[in-house]
Structure 1
Amino acid sequence: MNGYGARVPRRLLITLRLGETPEHLPSLLACRRYGVTPAESIDGGPIDRLLRHHGGALRCTRLHNSRTRHDQRPGTAGARRYDDVEQLTGVARVLRVLVQDDRHMPALLQALAQLASVEHVRPDQLSGIPFDGVTAPGRPDELAAWQSRELIRLPEALGFEPGDPAVLVGLADTGVMGSHSDLEPLRRGFDTVDLDASVTGGLTLIGDNHLSDEEPDDEVGHGTGCAGILHAGGLSLPPGGAGQCGLTPVRVLGAALQNDKRVGIGALSNIDAGMKRLIDLGVKVINMSFGTPESALRPDDAPPHQEVVRYALARGVLLVAASGNSGKEERYFPAAHPGVIAVGAVDAALKPCSFSTRGGHVALSAPGRDIWTTGLTGYQRASGTSFAAPFVSAVCALMASYAQRRAMPLTPELAREVLVASARPFPVAGVEGGGAGVLDALAALQALDTRLDALLEDEP
């Protein structure tokens, strides 16, 4: 996994301070779906003057739609339908701005950051995932496919808790090939990608990338691979780790060619818009196998995905992210955000993979080398922290199902504590930056059971 870090030309994201967002600004979804015209002015004051001085004409929308739909509060303007959580976490205050002239973008960003009404400003950058899965034309190696699942006692965990269809996992990725014969039926997903050739530098876009729509069809294979770990039907692969839980795919990363290999690539605004909509659809867990390295950010940039991560945690959503594939000790976002469960990768001997990005923010590790899963043309053997994260997301879904079965809440904080406390120690000494150890699915459910008992005993 790697964040490309290139700017989307002429596009920036501005988060205004609480109480500073004008009501006339339409949402991006309203402009795309209902033909509303983007605003050509924001505050009629210093923000507009700076934007026009450095960038010429402007067009602006709110990045996120409100959680409350128009039909739930008819006659109420969209800007007034955002609730307190949306306002306080910042998702109601994120603006996506397109300027006419890109030549003075650094000066524009610096000037906007000095305004009292601006909480922070950043360029709309590209985030992505190189992909190097090995396609298998026939059936996968059955013994090898089961090995990664058995290493973390996932079959026993599914016997302990089969999963609840009411618990939904959101998969923010390159989409999913929903017609795959070895994928259980998926819930309806959607697509937020809007890229064109001018934004991708030396990469060649392929497939459907220009306009967002409601079809999350995978053209890379990465999202389909993650989906197989979570939701395989047990035809030629072991059953999906999330059991009977539902899976909602969203295509936040489009398809491109890099050195003749397919990669997933998407703008930060594409990713955040997809994440927000998943949260509002009621998912309990979101798997995020993508990232942007801290080294790709300007020194004064706020970390990407900040508002939508805060929003998810405030809504009680469990966020699981791949730590990265740089093999270094560094921070990728969203994995490095507080509250996110960052996952490293281990091999079949439970030793950390050489490519796994390390750091004190990593919570634990899971199998991530030569993982058999679904692909665009049958099956694939894939490696990367991208494929370690779905194992943890699956166990989070099982934990949420078990807590719901006991009529007890599972908070993001409790889920992380249980996963860390129940992890198996690494088989070698001196491992640093790989988290508390290796995921143990059954032990996590058993530890959760004990914690829920303790919570009940503590009630007055």
Structure 2
Amino acid sequence: MKRLHWISLAALGLLIAACSTAPQGQNKQPTAAEAPARTVTILADHVTDQIVVGYTDPAELDALIEALGGGRVLKTLPEMKAALVELPAGMNAGAALGKLKSKRIAGLRYVQPNYTHPLPEPVANAALLGMNDPLEAQKWDHDVMQADAAWATTIDGTHPDGSGVVIGVVDTGIDGTHPDLAGAFVNGYDAVGCSTFGVIPPGIDASEGQIHGTHVAGIAAARAGNGQGVAGVAPNATLMDLQVFCGRFTDDFTIATAIVAAIYDIDGDGIVPDVITMSLGGKGYGQVLKDVLDSAMSGYNVITGTAIPGYDDGTAGGTPGDGTPDRSVTFTVAMGNSGQDEVEYPAGYPGIIAVGASNARDEKADFSTAGGHISVVAPGVDILSTWPTWDRDPTGHPYLYYRISGTSMATPQVAGAVALVKQFLPGASAYEVRRLLETTADDLGPAGFDRGTGWGRVNLKALVDKVAGVVVGSESTEKGAVASVRVFTENRWDSNLDGVVDASDERAPVGAVDVQLLQDGVVKYLAKTNSDGFANFVNVAPGIYKVMVAGQDITDGAAMNVWPYERVSWDVDGDPSNGVTLGSLTVVPCGGFVSDNPLEATLSTQLQVTLEWTGGDDLDLAVYEYDPALGARAWHTAKTGALWGSFDGDDTGADPTHASETYTLDATHYPSLAGGYYHISIDASGATVGTTATLTLSMNGFTKSYGPIPVTPGTTAFDNDFDLLFTLIGFDNWPTVY
């Protein structure tokens, strides 16, 4: 892993003692001068002809379309102030981001790819089974989780079965006509237009030829005691079908649309989900989905700062309509089936219960993805559950039940377990529920937490026993916390637009910067800064964290939230071996979605560039710098002098065996407005013969050389602009490896 930046922290060991529900104010941003448009390489899978846009003023969407040279707004999500934009014909998302990076549209918060999430393929299949088999006896997963003992427990005179709890299933559509799911549904929502494109009424087959959602739904909440096949973990919970697949892929905006429809009670029936389960994942971190998840988990709309009405209704004991939510949503999300140690989203967002899979030997399933963000595992191998009624054997009889494997199967087991908790503790936060699961799990693998199985395999009997203790007051829940880190440029920009940079100007907040919170060398939480420079961590564990930040002091178009990359992060002091913690964050229990006292970090790019060549001709190293007095950028060389750095001299090539020039960026410099990166070039306008050159760049402690680079005499800095080369090969835009 390489060091990518240097930061200083304005507050060290800062106590985060207060949390807030106030929306973050919109900060003024530098106006970006035009830079050559370059296609941005997007590392994660995405919809190629769409982008997701966050706005403050919807009228500015017209300005965006104009800047793109066409396209149209396909959908808006007013609750999250977000829009899905279809690009002009022939333009892909990378080209659109590259074009927008050099523009500033004041009413936009971010512009990002619309990341995709593939429909998970079953890892392994077993024999199809007829519905007359004694199927519940074949549910090994219920045996190891002690489901029968849990259901037999009495809490305050009631058996745990999920009664009164609504589980939203974000997946393919569900076959609501299945006999083991009959009567389980309330109105759902089709966000993709596969079955109804709108409200899905109870009791219909919305599967549209897909099986995944039906299987997931049965694991969580198939009916019990009805003489049919199997029972779910929460056999009396209510299901809400939130359809996001109509084919092999879904995307961030579609998922966000389905969740918003559910939590904002789009059909007006007064029913909102308590638990949402998602057996899906992808590589891209999307701000629109992060905003929606934080809103649901806190009960507050993170854009407006207001309580979401359905969670401020007094159901969990609060005062209806008082502006303070009394309940919220708990999310269970699949870790993934790669078998690798890596991060997928939504599982990687803070506050999520990320679920891995175990097998019948109480071991981590080989395919189950590992990582520091995992919470627990649950049975996910050869799991028997409901199957759509339209799939029939050669005699024409429906199969109805099927065994398949995956973290997709483990995740609804945990969703059902969450429903057993929320039946008795409806106001429990996502963190409280998570810790109840973790502290009652059966430890697997190495003692204590490990990256493969988290805190262990879910034990339903131990879970409901602890819930019973909380109900009678002999046990208590662990309260979660909210933490915030805010990232600024260390240097000031011309915020008052007077043509000079001085003490009257401000530092700029930096968007799309990676912020990681670590304990004992393990990355516990990761978030990216939003357009106001805030990285917010909702429903996380109280404690002391080491803070790691990755990024450059670059602030331009759309608040720089156009970055599609996962950046490698490094310790704030740049040396992970010395044990020195320059930035620490003490987080105490509280609610809301943003801290009133965020830890502030500053970014300042260190850059040195050396041009070397032979042949006895006059080349010039050129750097594209911003001049606030002119409100524009220009190429500067040793002949013209530099504004924000210095050249070591003007080498005219008198020695034909070796010539060189070096530019060093000053510690005090203008935060780059270079279309998202620092532009470096070679000016050969004074050269008379062709030659080759080598460029060596050192940025934030990391050095690389490039060459030989052919140079044509008479070409200018604009002709030889290497910004694309050094951005893609360079310094801070590579996949995070944990």
TM-score higher than 0.5 here?
A: yes
Question: 2: CA distance between counterparts of 1:97 and 1:226?
Answer: 32
Is 1:441 the equivalent of 2:475?
Answer: no
Letter aligned with residue 72 of structure 2: L
Corresponding residue number in structure 2 for 1:28: none
Q: How many residues of Structure 1 are paired with residues of Structure 2 in the alignment?
A: 371
Deviations, residues 183-206 of structure 1 (Å, cap 9, x unaligned) = 232222221114xxxxxxxxxxxx
**Corresponding position of 1:355:** 367
Give the Å deviation of 1:398: 0.9
Deviations 1:338-391, CA, capped at 9 Å, x for gaps: 000000000011100000000010000000000010112311101000000011
The equivalent of 2:46 in structure 1 is 7
For 2:101 and 2:340, the matched residues in 1 are separated by 31
Post-superposition offset of 1:213: 4.0
- What displacement does 1:9 show? 3.9
TM-fit CA distance, 1:312:
1.1
Q: Where do 5+ consecutive residues of structure 2 fail to align?
A: 1-42, 154-158, 266-271, 300-327, 392-399, 480-738
Q: Shift of residue 154 of structure 1?
A: 1.7
Who is 2:222 aligned against? 232
SS at match of 1:324: coil
Quote how far apart the aligned CAs of 1:147 are. 1.6
1:442 is paired with a residue of what secondary structure? helix
In structure 2, the residue matched to 1:425 is 443
Distance, in Å, in 1 between the alignment partners of 2:235 and 2:135 is 19
Structure 2: which amino acid aligns with 1:410? A
Residues 120, 302 of structure 1: 8 Å contact kept: no
1:332 aligns with 2:330: no
1:399 aligns with 2:384: no
Say if 2:54 and 2:288, in contact at 8 Å, map to a contact too. Answer: no
Written as runs of structure 1 = structure 2, the 5 A alignment for 1:34-183 is 42-43=60-61, 45=63, 47-52=64-69, 56-59=70-73, 61-64=75-78, 66=79, 91=80, 93-103=81-91, 105-112=93-100, 115=104, 117-132=107-122, 133-134=125-126, 136-139=128-131, 142=135, 145-160=138-153, 161-183=159-181
Measured at CA, do residues 447 and 137 of structure 1 come closer, stay the same or move farther in structure 2, by a change above 3 Å?
closer
- Using a 3 Å threshold, how does the CA distance of structure 1 residues 135 and 9 change in structure 2: closer, same or farther? farther
Structure 1 residue 212 and structure 2 residue 197: aligned? yes
Give CA deviations for 1:244-270 in whole Å, capped at 9, x if unaligned. Answer: 221111211113xxxxxxxx4223222
CA distance in 1 between partners of 2:445 and 2:62 (Å): 62
CA distance in 1, matches of 2:90, 2:198: 27
Contact 2:176 2:206 in 1 (8 A): yes
Change (3 A) 1:279 1:97: same
Q: Quick one: distance in 2 between partners of 1:424 and 1:302?
A: 34
Distance 1:411 1:184 in 2: 30
Q: 1:384 to 1:304 in 2, by over 3 A?
A: farther
Aligned match of 1:199: none
Contact 2:376/2:456, CA 8 A, preserved across alignment: yes
Who is 1:192 aligned against? 191
SS where residue 187 of structure 2 aligns? coil
Q: Which amino acid aligns with 1:305?
A: L
Are positions 1:290 and 2:280 aligned together? yes
In structure 1, the residue matched to 2:650 is: none
* Shift in Å, 1:335: 0.7
Among the aligned pairs, what percent are the same residue? 26
In structure 2, give the amino acid aligned to 1:96. Answer: L
Q: Alpha-carbon deviation of 1:423?
A: 0.8
More helix by share: 1
Contact 1:163 1:402 in 2 (8 A): no
Q: CA deviation at 1:429?
A: 6.1
Q: Does 1:223 find its partner at 2:242?
A: no
CA contact (8 A) 2:44 2:115 kept: yes
Q: What one-letter code is carried by the residue in structure 2 that aligns with 1:319?
A: F
Question: Which has the larger displacement, 415-424 or 238-247?
Answer: 238-247
Match of 2:404 in 1: 382
- In structure 2, the partner of 1:415 is 433
SS across alignment from 1:130: coil
Specify whether residues 111 and 302 from structure 1 end up closer, same or farther in structure 2 by C-alpha distance, changes over 3 A only. farther
Q: CA RMSD in A?
A: 2.7
In structure 1, how many angstroms separate the alpha carbons of the residues matched to 2:415 and 2:246? Answer: 22
Q: 1:252 to 1:134 in 2, by over 3 A?
A: farther
Q: Do the aligned partners of residues 44 and 371 (structure 1) sit closer, same or farther apart at CA in structure 2, a change above 3 Å counting?
A: closer
Which amino acid is 1:243 matched to?
P
Query: SS of 2:119's equivalent?
Result: strand
Q: 1:291 to 1:303 in 2, by over 3 A?
A: farther
Q: Quick one: which amino acid aligns to residue 54 of structure 2?
A: T
CA distance in 2, matches of 1:302, 1:126: 10
Offset of 1:289 from its aligned partner?
Answer: 0.5
Q: Answer 1 or 2: which has greater strand percent.
A: 2
The 2-side partners of 1:101 and 1:247 are apart by 40
Report the 3-state secondary structure (helix = DSSP H, G, I; strand = E; otherwise coil) of the residue aligned with 2:52: strand
Q: What SS class does the counterpart of residue 434 from structure 2 fall into? A: helix
Q: CA deviation at 1:15?
A: 1.5
Cα displacement string for residues 156-190 of structure 1 (whole angstroms, at most 9, x for unaligned residues): 22223333543211011111111112223222222
Aligned match for 1:21, one of 57, 60, 64? 57
Separation in 2, partners of 1:423, 1:304: 33
Contact 1:145 1:237 (C-alpha < 8 Å) held by counterparts: no
Give distance in 1, aligned partners of 2:179 and 2:136.
20
Distance in 2 of aligned mates of 1:372 and 1:102: 46
- Structure 1 residue 305, shift from structure 2 partner: 1.9
- In the aligned structure 2, how far is the partner of 1:326 from the partner of 1:61? 33
User: What SS class does the counterpart of residue 250 from structure 2 fall into?
Assistant: strand
Structure 1: unaligned runs, 5 residues or longer: 25-41, 67-90, 195-207, 256-263
Q: Against the structure 1 CA distance between its residues 387 and 164, is the aligned structure 2 distance closer, same or farther, given a 3 Å change threshold?
A: closer
Q: How does 1:238-249 map to 2 (within 5 A)?
A: 238-249=230-241
**Shift, 1:416, TM fit:** 0.8
Decide whether the 8 Å contact of 2:49 with 2:92 is kept in 1.
no
Separation in structure 2 between the aligned mates of residue 14 and residue 399 of structure 1, nearest angstrom: 37
Which of these residues, 303, 311, 324, is aligned with residue 295 of structure 2? 311
Contact 1:233–1:239, Cα closer than 8 Å, also in 2: yes
> Within the alignment, does 1:252 sit opposite 2:244 as a pair?
yes
Q: With structure 1 as the length reference, what TM-score do the two structures score?
A: 0.74
In 2, the alpha carbon distance for the partners of 1:371 and 1:337 equals: 27
Q: Within the alignment, does 1:266 sit opposite 2:247 as a pair?
A: no
Query: What SS does the aligned partner of 2:277 have?
Result: strand
Q: How far does the alpha carbon of each residue in 1:296-353 deviate from its partner, in whole angstroms, 9 at most, with x for none?
A: x4xxx64672121111112210000011000000111111110000000000111000
Amino acid at match of 2:214: T
Give, in whole Å, the separation in 2 of the partners of 1:61 and 1:177: 27
Are residues 1:367 and 2:393 paired?
no
TM-score (norm: length of structure 2): 0.47
Shift of 1:413: 1.2
Structure 1 residues 50 and 167: CA distance shift in structure 2, 3 A: same
